[in-house]
Amino acid sequence: MHLQVVGAASRRDGTVHRPFQSRREAAPSGRNTAGGWLRLGGVVAASLACGGRAPAAPTEPAPPKIARYVVVDNVCAWPNLTVLSDGSIAAIIHNQPSHARKEGDIDCWVSRDGTFWEKRAQPAPNEPGTVRMNVAAGRAGNGDLVVLCSGWKLEQGRLAGILPVWVTRSSDQGRSWQLTQAFPAPEPGWTHFVPFGPILPGADGRLHTTCYARGLKEPTARHVWHFTSADGGRTWQRGTLIGANHNETSIFHVGGKKWLAAARTNPLYRVELFRSDDDGATWTGGEPVTQTRELNAHLLRLQDGRILLTYGKRLEGQSGVLAKFSRDEGRTWSDPVRLLHSLAQDCGYPSSVQRADGTIVTAYYSEAVENHQRYHMGVAVWQAP
């Protein structure tokens, strides 16, 4: 693999990880494998008697068909999925098992169908004393994979300021990357911008995404803005404010000039939905679409016309990943279905794509699931009800 970088940076090679299902999924029906050892998908996994899963609420049934895989081990991940021009799926992930307390950066992993993954390259290698972990990602009109990446300065393991955004792109399905360090300067009184979620094309050919920032005098303050690029993601312009008390926000193109933005709000720890009818020039709304402690959502148009909302749930005994569906462009939503039970509240950040055969691939992270007690990127491959 080859990385072309403007400025000095480090580089690390990775290995291919073969996925494996949890013991509950791999064991024959009715067999209890707790306390034993199984060889699953080429990886030896220790079965731990960890107390099992929390029961789902009656309104959180599983999809009609689902398989789950641990695909990249020992990473905090926060995955961001993009379907590439050849139909394969790219995942941009953070490659350390830590919430920004260890030096590290991001990896690009690619899969043909969401089950087996290979590491391709590092789109934005970190500099010493930093961690790069916050990303927005998507495809430009010419097929290039574009990633915006920021992170944190570290001083003795403590966060010491947000890093400027880097722009990096690949024209060969994630194998090599061209990196530049030009992005709009922060707003007065605010930190550098932090990108999040998908990068999507609009009807006018521009690319759209979101970035948020923290207040310098009031560190708990958060603003999230709409960003656009008119040159395929090479340069970016800050647009209007989406939410005045929100941070990590996933944008979604409804069609024409209409957009949705699913924004995390910290005081209530839920997702609120904003709308624009003028290509992001103005935003209205802020209606809640999840409950308290259900946060960090992703929106996807399904082949049957519905909008899929996937999101994390961080509640003792009920943590995991859930999904809802809308038939009316996000005005009303179905009851949730459960894609994952997590034994740890440190989980979620789902990102979803749909394969040509209609199967949905949802990537997420968790600190601990049944039979796997480390941070990892997991994948649910499932069919919508």
Instruction: Give residue 10's pLDDT band: very low, low, confident or very high (50, 70, 90).
Output: very low
Query: Does 2.120.10.10 match the CATH number of domain 2-383?
Result: yes
Bigger pLDDT: 26 vs 293: 293
Percent of the chain with pLDDT over 70: 85
Please state which of the ranges 27-31, 242-246, 296-300, 305-309 shows the lowest mean pLDDT.
Answer: 27-31
Q: 156-174: per-residue pLDDT in tens?
A: 889 999 999 999 999 999 9
**Buried-exposed string 175-195: b where 16+ CB fall within 10 A, e elsewhere:** ebbbbeeebbebbeebbbbbb
**Over 90: is that where the pLDDT of 378 sits?**
yes
Average pLDDT, the chain: 87
pLDDT of residue 56: 53
User: Which residue shows structure tokens 């459960």?
Assistant: 338
Least confident of 39-43, 124-128, 253-257: 39-43
pLDDT of amino acid 164: 98
Q: Which of 249, 325, 232, 231 is nearest to 285 (CA)?
A: 249
What is the pLDDT, as a whole number, of residue 5? 35
Q: Where are the domains of the chain?
A: 2-383
Q: How much is the pLDDT for 1?
A: 40
What is d(CA 105, CA 48) in angstroms, rounded to the nearest whole number? 30
More confident site: 71 or 47: 71
- Which pLDDT does position 157 carry in this prediction? 81
Angle at 154 between CA 148 and CA 159, to 5 degrees: 85
Which pLDDT score, from 0 to 100, does residue 335 have? 96
Least confident of 26-35, 50-59, 262-271, 273-282: 26-35
Tell me what pLDDT residue 43 has.
Answer: 29
Average pLDDT over residues 251-267: 96
Task: Report the candidate in 261, 212, 256, 268 with the shortest Cα–Cα distance to residue 238.
Answer: 212
DSSP character string of 198-246: EEEE-TTS-EEEEEEEEBSSSTT-EEEEEEEESSTTSS-EEEEEEETT-
Give which of 77, 69, 92 is closest to 173, Cα–Cα: 92
**pLDDT, average across residues 285-299:** 96
Residue type, 144: D
Of the listed ranges 157-161, 196-200, 274-278, 349-353, the one predicted with least confidence: 157-161
Of 277, 270, 254, the C-alpha closest to 330 is 254
- Collapsing DSSP to helix, strand or coil, 25 comes out as helix
The dihedrals phi and psi of 210, each to the nearest 5 degrees, come to -135, 150
pLDDT tens figures, 293-350? 999 999 999 999 999 999 999 999 999 999 999 999 999 999 999 999 999 999 999 9
Using CA atoms, how far apart are residues 121 and 107, in angstroms rounded to an integer?
6
For the chain, how far is it from start to end, CA to CA, in angstroms? Answer: 40
The answer to whether residues 104 and 96 touch, using CB atoms and an 8 Å cutoff, is: yes
**What confidence tens digit (pLDDT) does each residue in 60-115 have?**
999 999 999 999 999 999 999 999 999 999 999 999 999 999 999 999 999 999 99
Q: How much of the chain exceeds pLDDT 90, in percent?
A: 82
Greatest distance between any 2 Cα atoms in the chain: 61
Q: Who's near 176: CB < 8 A, 6+ residues apart?
A: 1, 2, 3, 4, 121, 170
pLDDT at 99: 93
pLDDT of the residue at 207: 98
Range scoring the smallest mean pLDDT among 107-116, 169-178, 186-195, 263-272? 263-272
Residue 300 confidence (pLDDT): 98
Whole-model pTM: value is 0.86
Choice between 59 and 145, residue whose per-residue pLDDT is larger? 145
Per-residue pLDDT at 57: 55
Q: Answer yes or no: is pLDDT of 371 > 50.
A: yes
pLDDT at 24: 31
Q: Which pLDDT belongs to residue 238?
A: 98
- Tokens representing 69? 């895989």
Q: How far apart are CA 222 and CA 206, in angstroms?
A: 26
* Whole-number Å distance between alpha carbons of 209 and 254: 14
8 A C-beta contact, residue 314 and residue 366 = no
Cβ(364)–Cβ(352) below 8 Å: no
- Which of 112, 172, 98, 108 has its CA nearest to residue 142? 172
Dist CA 220 CA 232 (whole Å): 33
**pLDDT score of 267:** 80
58: alpha, beta or left, given left = phi > 0 and alpha = psi -120 to 50? alpha
